[in-house]
Amino acid sequence: MSAARWWHTPRVFFAPAAVLMIMAIGGRFTLDRAGFPDLAWVDLRVVGLVAALAVLVVDIARRPATGLDGPRREGWLVATVLFFVYQIASGLWAPPAARVGPQTLDLVLMAALTVAIYLYAIGDPEQAARNAFWLFYVAAIIFALAALFINGPGEQGRYSAFGGGPNVFVRIQILGIISTVALFLHYRRKTLLLAVPLFVLGAVLSGSRAGLMTGAAVGAVALFKQRRRVRPGAVVAACLALAVAAGVVLALAPPAFTSLFKERFVEQTVQQHYVSDRTSIWQAAWKLAVEHPFAGTGLDGFYGTIGVNQNVEYPHNYLLGVAAEGGLVGIGLLAAAVVLWATTVRGGGARPRWTGLAVAAAVFVALDSLFSGDNYDARLAWLFAAIAAAAAVVPSAAETSARPADSAGHEPGRKLVTP
């Protein structure tokens, strides 16, 4: 296919992104949650993965040859897969009460999702990133409306949607804000910003202090890095927009908003310094890590050793969970994956904007995972990490055309390069 013609054919289709993202956003979803208790054994994630891999194979097979494939640094992906494999293997020495089967399925699905997203994104990183941000933008709107008008507040007065917890809900809302920024910077359509007040309202109503804190931290760092490019007029406009958003939030907020804000953020956080027993849970996880320093207690060892007796599902800290259940080996593999990934995305590659936005999304979920969630709840961090890596390593058309041909007159082929 000629270079002029391939522009009329999309490098990647929307369908693989839709199936993969819906699978990631939906989380654990068995048919009993849809009202079919007799079919509780049917895990829709497995169905979604089979469908996703099928459409991905079709998408890869029909991609036009453009000569844009070249050397790529993918050592981070190798280290990531090894990390997942080690976690799965650690089920061999897990305690008897550990839920090895369900946890193994979670890790297999998360590993497959990460690799599949990367294979999808390298076809056209910019289009893949746009598809991802569009899907999270729409998902955040749907989740916010469902929380407000269908599910309502839970027992603690905190809002969530579709059976997921408030801590998952706040991640979708903050990712909706990041997606809004990404789409606005690309399309320059102010109508996209109309959803921001809804996302802010949803994030606050979730009552997730960690989610709001990490979201604000990521936003502050992003603004600091762009300080030389930001004009004074843009700062004033942003402040006015935030003021308007705050007013809209107050106007649209349900009556429970004031009481939730006062109880959750003022009384519990500021006055009582309440942290939902996180410190005691983290201390227990740290003790396990110290007692089993090399290989850890095994997959789901925290629950099998401590949680089963104290009714605590997981350590509520991704790093402590890995240390307690995987020991120094697990921490070492995770550190290798993170360091190699950071080296890969550093500088942004040929698409610094899309790389930076995907990095911001991945870092937000990763930081929030230090306060809540289990292994599978970190899947969105790995998802955006894969998109960021693809955006950074795939060369642009200009870079590829500038490469010298080999002795046979052909462009260099794809090969695996590890830093």
Cβ neighbours around 58 below 10 Å, total: 13
CA 50 vs CA 12, 58, 174, 379, 402: distances in Å: 19, 13, 29, 17, 39
For 26, the 3-state DSSP assignment is: helix
- pLDDT score for 253: 61
Q: What is the mean predicted confidence (pLDDT) over 100-112?
A: 94
- Give domain status of residue 416, yes or no: no
Cβ neighbours around 238 below 10 Å, total: 12
- Give domain status of residue 404, yes or no: no
Residue 26 CA to residue 291 CA, distance in Å, equals 36
> Model-level pTM?
0.86
Residue 227 CA to residue 208 CA, distance in Å, equals 28
Which stretch of 48-57, 155-164, 302-311 has the lowest confidence by average pLDDT? 155-164
As given in the structure block, the two tokens for residue 221 are 């760092």
Q: What is 167-211 written as a DSSP string?
A: HHHHHHHHHHHHHHHHHHHHH--GGGGGGHHHHHHHHHHTT-HHH
- 219-274 pLDDT, tens digit each: 888 877 776 666 666 666 666 766 776 666 666 665 665 555 555 554 454 444 44
Q: What is the mean predicted confidence (pLDDT) over 298-313?
A: 90
Cβ neighbours around 228 below 10 Å, total: 5
- Give domain status of residue 138, yes or no: yes
Q: What is the mean pLDDT of the chain?
A: 83
DSSP 8-class letter at 31: G
Contact in structure between 177 and 215 (CB atoms under 8 Å): yes
Domains of the chain: total? 1
Residue 281 CA to residue 373 CA, distance in Å, equals 13
CA 171 vs CA 10, 143, 166: distances in Å: 30, 11, 9
φ/ψ bin of 35: left (φ > 0), alpha (ψ from -120 to 50), beta (otherwise): left
Domain that holds residue 278: 6-64+74-396
Cβ neighbours around 259 below 10 Å, total: 11
- pLDDT score for 3: 43
- Give domain status of residue 255, yes or no: yes
- pLDDT score for 265: 52
Residue 218 CA to residue 226 CA, distance in Å, equals 12
- Give domain status of residue 419, yes or no: no
- 36-82 pLDDT, tens digit each: 666 667 788 888 889 889 999 998 988 876 555 566 789 999 999 99
- Give domain status of residue 292, yes or no: yes
Q: What is the mean predicted confidence (pLDDT) over 206-230?
A: 81
- pLDDT score for 362: 97
Residue type, 95: P
Q: What is the mean predicted confidence (pLDDT) over 349-374?
A: 93
Residue 393 CA to residue 122 CA, distance in Å, equals 8
- Give domain status of residue 403, yes or no: no
- 176-199 pLDDT, tens digit each: 999 999 999 999 998 998 898 889
- Give domain status of residue 10, yes or no: yes
- pLDDT score for 317: 93
